[in-house]
A and B are shown apart, each in its own frame.
Chain A
Amino acid sequence: EAGVAQSPRYKIIEKRQSVAFWCNPISGHATLYWYQQILGQGPKLLIQFQNNGVVDDSQLPKDRFSAERLKGVDSTLKIQPAKLEDSAVYLCASSLAQTENGYTFGSGTRLTVV
């Protein structure tokens, strides 16, 4: 089966600019996650969707980050305006709901804010 697709792979922007990341999960996976992985740390959940509804966005900095999942398939994550501390790898993952089999991750988007 095709994996989780993310784009772009790399992005460099200046602080205060905006940026958007795209994720296409595995077909049929109802649950989609966005994680932020800062260098030297483990991934941290930003937001979780179940179909096109938000399940958990408690750790999403809502003053600058937003995410949507239209039609319960693809998802976009946006940062506006970006700060230096947003430099990280942004990982998208998907899973079948109610499964203990683990999660399939995309390769991530590496964001550098200068």
Chain B
Amino acid sequence: GDSVTQMEGPVTLSEEAFLTINCTYTATGYPSLFWYVQYPGEGLQLLLKATKADDKGSNKGFEATYRKETTSFHLEKGSVQVSDSAVYFCALSTQAGTALIFGKGTTLSVSS
């Protein structure tokens, strides 16, 4: 069945370091891909998305490119801040209006 695999955490970085969180997926057809972020004590928030191959989603300095050939959607940020500390979830949707399928999440901890 359809699934999402994320790199194991936690990821611990110093402020201004480069961030990569790997995400690969298995799905039939052409899913839409998402990154959600969950700050401590808060609900899930959409960070960015991409709906077709080679699309790049971006928001708040984060980027991810939909790579169909490698079935990947890795999250990157050039310079992380302490405020980026959160749990990041990669997710897919096989078609509009259908439920999201999530990865297990990756915890990011950034220290000053």
A100 and B32 contact, CB distance less than 8 A: yes
Q: Give how many A-B residue pairs fall within 8 Å (CB-CB).
A: 60
Whether the pair A99, B99 counts as a contact (CB closer than 8 A) is no
Select A107's contact among B32, B42, B49, B102, beta carbons within 8 Å: B42
Count of chain A residues with Cβ under 8 Å from any Cβ of B? 28
- Known: A42-B102, A99-B97. Is A105-B43 also a contact (CB below 8 A)? yes
Q: Write out, one digit per residue, whether chain A residues 44-60 have a CB within 8 A of any chain B CB (1) or not (0).
A: 11001010000010000
A108 to B46, CA, bound (A): 15
Interface residues of A (CB under 8 A from B): 3-4, 31, 33, 40-45, 48, 50, 56, 91, 93, 95, 97-108
Partner-A contacts on B (CB < 8 A): 4, 32, 34, 36, 41-46, 49, 51, 89, 91, 93, 96-105
